[in-house]
Amino acid sequence: MPVSLNVGQLAYICAITCTALSAYLVYKLGLTTRDAAQRNAQFRSLQLHFLIPYLAILLAESIQAPYLYVLYHVYGFLPGQISVLYVVGLTMNVVSTVLTVHLLSRYDRRMLCLCCVASGSLACLLKFSDNYLILLIGRLLDGFSAALITSPFQQWYGHEHVMAFDFPKEWLASTFALLSLVAGFLSVCAGFIAEFAESISSITAFPFFFAILFQIAGGCYIMRVWPSNRLEPEYRIPLQEQFVKAVAIFKKKPVVLVLCTVHTLFESTLLIFIFVWTPLFIHSKAVLGQRISYGVVYAAFMSCALLGSVSSRLYQKRVMASRVLCASSCACLIALVLAVFVIPSSPSDWSTYLFDILLLLFCLFEFAVGSYLPSMNKLQIDLLPAEHRSSLLALLRIPLTIISCGGMLFLHSGSSDWQIVLMGCILLSLTTLCALLLHLVLSRNTPEQINDHFVLKLSTNVYDSQEDEDDLPQGLTVG
């Protein structure tokens, strides 16, 4: 049997099995059971008005992921040129993320959501050109769109939920839990949609056309249904003042610095993985004579991440989030260390067996990532001061981007890429050590001691301010 079919079958089996197990756990754990919030018809209506367009836009983002590197490879660009395209997008993203903190305090959130849709759709359209300059412009738009895909949408909903409809603030968790769950299943579907789009057209850029359709559908819904809202002038804080206060947190609260270090190192590794998995499997074409199903492989990865996220519900009330963080980073480290030994030094040494093992190791990595994300999100909400959370996370994008871009530019040769995976192992080793330190600090101090000595207490007052609306989850990544 051809190698590609074996890899494809294994990916299908992983995707279907893990998605089915996730659905079973969702049912078993009663995650779809209606609570007091879900029994309120007006709340459900607002929830649907928020989730329908936002999930469509998140789905569009995920559809682009499987074939982005493949598209540049098909256009005939060298590995170094492709690395530059990725680095341009990431650099634009970090600049736009910092800028977004300012934009959210000044401008209408609905307008920023539409800017996200417009820039994302135009970026997808530009990918139908094989001109390098046009693709660079597309990557700039990608970076800008990605920076706007989280906070403007979530803060728009937070304002409507608390200020416009006066729903209990505690009901926010119901909406974002549902958002995270559905987005996880949609990320699996995105892989199959991308594969379907590519297979029916034999055009590598065709999945991006599907992404445009979902982007436009979400944008039209927002224009038609969503009202405008913005931060009131009396609650606006100058951008420089926001970042100065955020940096001061590191000096006063050491545990915040440790948590942010874990976040930066792990997210850098995740960005490197997102970049490197496709070129590793591209070598299969030389061995097999045909291309593997990248959309199906992506669906397998996302299904494993979904299973890890849903499985974490089984023990999240009994196990400290910091302990889960240690276990997740350790599992990721083991997966990548084994991958370094699996990846041959020469492309001609690839075989069916090696591709299958690599796929399984990467699935293990994604399962651990799925377990990591809910724990990190919980620790950020518990430990990062709400009024400075957006500024802190925006600042973290700077070292995060420098680390990941360095690996992409200097270690991506296109011949083996075990070096860049090894860099991920080094970063995860540091992540695990920092996560262990964080766990020791949190386990040996009572919540009162931590609040007194390490972090600011979160205000429970409800008003239209940056503090309240930043108490929303940050960074729901699908692909």
Per-residue model confidence as pLDDT tens digits over 426-452: 999 999 999 999 999 888 765 445 543
Statement to judge: residues 213 and 104 lie in one domain = yes
Q: Is 119 a domain residue?
A: yes
Sorted by sequence, the CB contacts under 8 Å of residue 256 that are 6+ apart come out as 249, 250, 383, 384, 392, 454, 455
What was the pLDDT predicted at 353? Answer: 86
Per-residue model confidence as pLDDT tens digits over 237-285: 776 777 787 778 777 888 888 898 899 999 999 999 999 999 999 877 6
Q: How far apart are CA 117 and CA 220, in angstroms?
A: 10
Query: Which residue is associated with the tokens 């469509």?
Result: 56
Which of these three, 231, 253, 277, is where a domain ends?
Answer: 231
Per-residue model confidence as pLDDT tens digits over 347-369: 778 888 889 999 999 999 999 99
Statement to judge: residues 380 and 255 lie in one domain = yes
- Which tokens belong to 321? 């989030």
Q: How far apart are CA 224 and CA 403, in angstroms?
A: 41
Q: Is 479 a domain residue?
A: no
Q: Is 87 a domain residue?
A: yes
Statement to judge: residues 142 and 259 lie in one domain = no
Residue-by-residue DSSP string for 40-54: -HHHHHHHHHHHHHH
Which of these three, 198, 231, 264, is where a domain ends?
Answer: 231
Q: How far apart are CA 395 and CA 402, in angstroms?
A: 12
Per-residue model confidence as pLDDT tens digits over 33-51: 666 677 788 889 999 999 9
Statement to judge: residues 222 and 245 lie in one domain = no
Statement to judge: residues 171 and 308 lie in one domain = no
Residue 326, helix vs strand vs coil = helix
Statement to judge: residues 43 and 116 lie in one domain = yes
Q: How far apart are CA 436 and CA 442, in angstroms?
A: 10
Burial of 66 (0-12, 13-18, 19+ CB in 10 A): buried
Statement to judge: residues 218 and 249 lie in one domain = no
* Of 152-166, 301-315, 442-456, minimum mean pLDDT range: 442-456
| In the predicted structure, residue 332 carries a pLDDT above the cut 70 | yes
Length of the chain counted residue by residue: 479
Q: Is 126 a domain residue?
A: yes
Q: Is 16 a domain residue?
A: no
Statement to judge: residues 163 and 210 lie in one domain = yes
Q: How far apart are CA 50 and CA 220, in angstroms?
A: 13
Which of these three, 174, 203, 231, is where a domain ends?
Answer: 231
Which CATH number goes with the domain that contains 354?
1.20.1250.20
Range of the domain at 272: 237-468
For all residues of the chain together, what is the average pLDDT? 85
CA proximity to 395, closest of 101, 17, 38, 31: 101
Statement to judge: residues 252 and 271 lie in one domain = yes
What was the pLDDT predicted at 234? Answer: 67
| In the predicted structure, residue 84 carries a pLDDT above the cut 90 | yes
More confident residue, 75 or 410: 75
Statement to judge: residues 145 and 201 lie in one domain = yes
- pTM (2 d.p.): 0.89
Q: Is 477 a domain residue?
A: no
Q: Is 18 a domain residue?
A: no
CA proximity to 195, closest of 110, 293, 70, 310: 293
Statement to judge: residues 121 and 209 lie in one domain = yes
Q: How far apart are CA 407 and CA 93, in angstroms?
A: 17
Read off the pLDDT band of 167 (50, 70, 90).
Answer: confident
Q: 204 to each of 128, 207, 216, 274, 295, how far by Cα in Å? A: 9, 7, 21, 18, 11
Statement to judge: residues 119 and 257 lie in one domain = no
Query: What is the total count of domains within the chain?
Result: 2
Q: Is 453 a domain residue?
A: yes
Helix, strand, coil share (%) of the chain residues, nearest 5:
80, 0, 20
